Structure 1
């Protein structure tokens, strides 16, 4: 199994964190995005989209971070904690995965991309979207729940953690969201969890 990674990508961090939580051995290749390694013919033959993360496992090639989380949970978690078998809980996990690639991407992720990497988008709009998803979904949810789904962490928590944990790098404050901050601490306290790195430390 091999992970094509970039340390400051929250998408890639999802895969890295899950591999760490499940204690899975894998080959780790950090892509040189600055010099265009992700656009070379060799990598495009593996992932035509030229994006990280990409996970290869024999003949299996996965180029989507939430697909990687699903694959790892189904393959390595015999207890089915990370992706529950119960239909209602499994559907709820999927709904939060959707939030991670839509609302969390549009707000927390994009605001950070603008500030760190010069991504071309409206920063004020991204900040507004971040606060909207925090106030309407995450903060109220964690008033009565420790995790996004059920009574234990799932891949939904891992998928949503990365960009929210480093949203301050997009100049979005979590000061007014104590429930979200407490959830982040719970995720970071999981045995084997690998935190999302700070840009200043990378």
Structure 2
């Protein structure tokens, strides 16, 4: 049975829960007290020396980093090859957005940490970084429904949570109608699940 070291309010952990649901793969969770920094204690550092969540275990394998976990799940459990294709060009197009989901979009995650958990970070810098990437994302989505390949991939899953949670970091998505439409499309995927701050479409 897959085990996910999880925190309900983490967008990075939610990426994994969402993708597992979309793939209809069963799993169990172990809740981590992120607020009180349980992920930084000795036991968790032995699992992931970077002191981050999610941590993922399956069949004797342990992985850290949400994007790496998405790749693993797509390769092991997506038997149609839709979510992360083998074709070199297609895989490269998807992988570039995995980098964005774990990189530039995390500015929005940082701004959210300031707003909801009072982290001592430069919120203006984080918000500016998030706005920059959302402008790029909105322009990219102007003539397409999904980030790449004309259908949902793990690129979309990687970039979705902290974009959809941007408002909790004080970032207004109203100027980015293509991003808002993309968020709504993801919410309409079969077996989509919600998290606090990202409701289902009624």
Same fold (TM > 0.5):
yes
**1:77-125 CA-partner distances (Å, limit 9, x unpaired):** 010100012211110111001111111012x111111111122221111
Aligned-partner Cα distance in 2 for 1:158–1:196: 14
4+ residue runs over 6 A deviation: none
Q: Which residue is equivalent to 1:140? A: 139
1:112 is aligned to 2:95: no
SS at match of 1:48: coil
SS at match of 2:142: coil
SS at match of 1:42: helix
Query: Contact (CA 8 Å) 1:166, 1:196: kept in 2 or not?
Result: no
Aligned-residue offset at 1:190? 0.5
SS at match of 2:35: helix
Q: Which residue is equivalent to 1:42? A: 43
* Deviates most, 28-37 or 186-195: 28-37
Q: Which residue is equivalent to 1:149? A: 148
Q: Write out aligned runs for 1:1-202 (5 A).
A: 1-106=2-107, 108-135=108-135, 137-198=136-197
Aligned-residue offset at 1:39? 3.3
- Aligned-residue Cα RMSD (Å) equals 1.4
* Deviates most, 47-56 or 167-176: 47-56
SS at match of 1:33: coil
